[in-house]
Chains A and B, each alone.
Chain A
Amino acid sequence: MDSQTPIIIVGAGQAGVQIAESLRQEGFAGTLILCGEEPHPPYQRPPLSKKWLIEAGAVSALTLRGPAALERLKIIMKLDTRVQSIDRKRCELEFMDGTRLAYGRLALATGSLPRTLPVPGASLPGVLALRGIADSLAIGAAIRRCAAEGRRVVVVGGGFIGLEVAAGARKLGAGATVLEGLPRLMSRVTAPVVSEAFARLHRAHGVQLVFGAQVTEVVGHEGTVAAVRTADGQEYRCGCVVVGIGVTPDDLLARSAGLLCDHGIVVDDCSRTSDALIVAAGDCTARRMGDGELVRLESVQNAVEQGKSAAAALMGRERPFINTPWFWSDQFDVKLQMVGLSRGYDQVVTRGDLAKPAFSAFYFRAGRLLAVDSLNRVSDHMQSKRILDHGLSPTPAQAADLQFDLPSLLKSARETTAGEA
């Protein structure tokens, strides 16, 4: 590749930074430009709904790579700027301010956007969603105001973000109500036994949980939010509303440029898009799996691993993302760690103490382990991760038996391999 024509990365989040860094590690010596919409240097997003939300710490506590690191890697930062369009024929980007930049190859790491409530009143002041630093600061301030004024925080959506924010609200002393449209918490990603444990946890900390709640309207009073109304006629009075009903991949730029998209920029295991000069990584992608199905993962690990793959692909190498997916969440004193993808499971067994809670849920399909959710069971999580990475599986009975030593599966697999060799 002509080293004079730069590689441009659109999106300066976890995936964008990973692509840039991995490109240097892969030996790319040419011009490297990293573009971000926000004014901040690259930062970590997970704390925005967790620790940082409560502590309202300094922005520097989130920094992913500081100025010195970026300079050492000779990464040219173009912050506070938005790409308007991609001209694939000319290999050029057009920015909002009208400037154009030619690229040799292009990486898209545009992330995702919070879904908005499609109801009247959803754009009232005091209706908030979480994407970046500014949003986390606004939510933290609104929660503190609610706590001071004795008003409630209404969270729409009982998924990760919604529950983490509800936990944060309680920790800051505000009353919290979670309105969930489905019959249980985090239903898209966990089994009922895990949902129930989290429902008990939140209720024990004073969070009001409402299931089957169809939000029909956000009611304003004197220009700001006052209540949320549901289809059954209930009204939940509040001082602010936090909407956590999932995200949509930010694939607009790619779609407008004619790249293959299907609820996300379609990429293969190596982060390659339908254009040989363009790769994509992180929340903005939909990855084609071996069975042809498209999977969207919204996680740091996915951003990091797809970012590494994308950098390798830009250098003409194949480095497929094969690690088992994992996620985590902090809510009150429970550390939830999830590994694997449970879609399509037909059996769940639990290991440990459900009441505490300190247990893991093991998901199986036809007797083979797919995924494990661990609540305050760190060793189950770490051991299961290795077991899944090695393509191994305990039987459901073994998984449920606390006397059964999970790592022994790894040991016996090694011995079998040695025996065959």
Chain B
Amino acid sequence: MPRIVYIEPDGREVALELATGQSLMRGAIEAGVDGIEAQCGGACACATCHCYVRPEWLDKLKPPSDDELLMLSNVAAERRPNSRLSCQLIVEAGLDGLTVQFPDRQS
């Protein structure tokens, strides 16, 4: 199973092995990773699962949908070029080692 690395807002790293097909949001929520709220549970309706993707991984991810882009334009923390919503990032075999960081605020 691909290993996903989460960096919590205070810098602590949490590495999880996640089943393919699962979202990065679900993996983080279940494991209780700090720095994510995911209030809408993955419906792309709240933008409280915002994360920064390590730049070297950006082009390996499916590009964001229009809805995700619109949500990203109004996230609570600073929006950066590597901002994504973790509910829209799905674990795949090729993503072993994917690293994302959660911002200091989600709402």
The residues of A with any CB-CB pair to B shorter than 8 Å are 21, 25, 44, 46-47, 50-51, 61, 63-66, 68-70, 72-73, 300-301, 304-305, 323, 326, 328, 330, 335, 337, 378-379, 382-383, 385-386
Does A65 contact B32, Cβ atoms closer than 8 Å? Answer: yes
Q: Which residues of A are found within 8 Å of B39, using beta-carbon distances? A: 300-301, 304
Does B40 contact A328, Cβ atoms closer than 8 Å? Answer: yes
Does A300 contact B40, Cβ atoms closer than 8 Å? Answer: yes
With contacts A378-B67, A379-B73, A386-B74 taken as known, whether A65 is within 8 angstroms of B29 at the C-beta atoms is yes
Does A69 contact B47, Cβ atoms closer than 8 Å? Answer: no
Q: Does B3 contact A (CB under 8 A)?
A: no
Does B30 contact A69, Cβ atoms closer than 8 Å? Answer: yes
Does B43 contact A385, Cβ atoms closer than 8 Å? Answer: no
With most chain A CB atoms within 10 A of its CB, the pick from B30, B41, B107 is: B41
Does B74 contact A379, Cβ atoms closer than 8 Å? Answer: yes
Minimal beta-carbon separation of B75 from chain A (angstroms):
8
How many angstroms from the CA of A64 to the CA of B28 in the assembled complex?
10
Minimal beta-carbon separation of B15 from chain A (angstroms):
13
Q: Does B70 contact A (CB under 8 A)?
A: yes
Q: Which residues of A are found within 8 Å of B32, using beta-carbon distances? A: 21, 65-66, 68-70, 72-73
The residue in chain B whose Cβ has the minimal distance to the Cβ of A45 is B41
The residue in chain B whose Cβ has the minimal distance to the Cβ of A68 is B31
* Known pairs A300-B39, A383-B74 / 14 extra A-B pairs, C-beta < 8 Å: A50-B43, A51-B43, A63-B26, A64-B30, A66-B30, A66-B31, A68-B30, A68-B31, A69-B31, A73-B32, A301-B107, A323-B107, A328-B46, A335-B45
With contacts A300-B40, A301-B39 taken as known, whether A378 is within 8 angstroms of B26 at the C-beta atoms is no
Does B41 contact A44, Cβ atoms closer than 8 Å? Answer: yes
Annotate B1-36 by CB proximity to A: 1 below 8 A, 0 otherwise. Answer: 000000000000000000000000010011110100
How many angstroms from the CA of A47 to the CA of B26 in the assembled complex?
13
Of the four ranges (under 10, 10 to 19, 20 to 34, 35 or more), the interface on chain B belongs to: 20 to 34
Pair count A-B, CB < 8 A: 67
Tell me the dominant secondary structure on chain B's binding face.
loop
Does A46 contact B74, Cβ atoms closer than 8 Å? Answer: no
Q: Pick the contact of B46 from A50, A51, A326 — CB < 8 Å?
A: A326
The residues of B with any CB-CB pair to A shorter than 8 Å are 26, 29-32, 34, 37, 39-47, 67, 70-71, 73-74, 107
Q: Pick the contact of A47 from B41, B46, B73, B74 — CB < 8 Å?
A: B41
Listed from nearest, the 5 A-B pairs whose CB atoms lie closest are A69-B32, A382-B74, A66-B30, A378-B70, A328-B45
Q: Pick the contact of B30 from A50, A63, A300 — CB < 8 Å?
A: A63
Minimal beta-carbon separation of A44 from chain B (angstroms):
4
Minimal beta-carbon separation of B87 from chain A (angstroms):
12
Does A63 contact B29, Cβ atoms closer than 8 Å? Answer: yes
Does A337 contact B37, Cβ atoms closer than 8 Å? Answer: no
Minimal beta-carbon separation of B68 from chain A (angstroms):
9
Does B70 contact A382, Cβ atoms closer than 8 Å? Answer: yes
Minimal beta-carbon separation of A388 from chain B (angstroms):
12
Minimal beta-carbon separation of A94 from chain B (angstroms):
30
Does A379 contact B70, Cβ atoms closer than 8 Å? Answer: yes
Q: Which residues of B are found within 8 Å of A68, using beta-carbon distances? A: 30-32
Minimal beta-carbon separation of B85 from chain A (angstroms):
12
How many angstroms from the CA of A343 to the CA of B23 in the assembled complex?
37
Q: Which residues of B are found within 8 Å of A50, using beta-carbon distances? A: 43
With contacts A69-B32, A328-B46 taken as known, whether A304 is within 8 angstroms of B37 at the C-beta atoms is yes
Q: Which residues of B are found within 8 Å of A386, using beta-carbon distances? A: 74
Q: Which residues of B are found within 8 Å of A47, using beta-carbon distances? A: 41-42
With most chain A CB atoms within 10 A of its CB, the pick from B34, B39, B73 is: B39
With contacts A47-B41, A300-B39, A326-B46 taken as known, whether A64 is within 8 angstroms of B29 at the C-beta atoms is yes
Q: Which residues of A are found within 8 Å of B41, using beta-carbon distances? A: 44, 46-47, 300
Q: Which residues of A are found within 8 Å of B43, using beta-carbon distances? A: 46, 50-51, 328, 330, 335
Does A382 contact B29, Cβ atoms closer than 8 Å? Answer: no
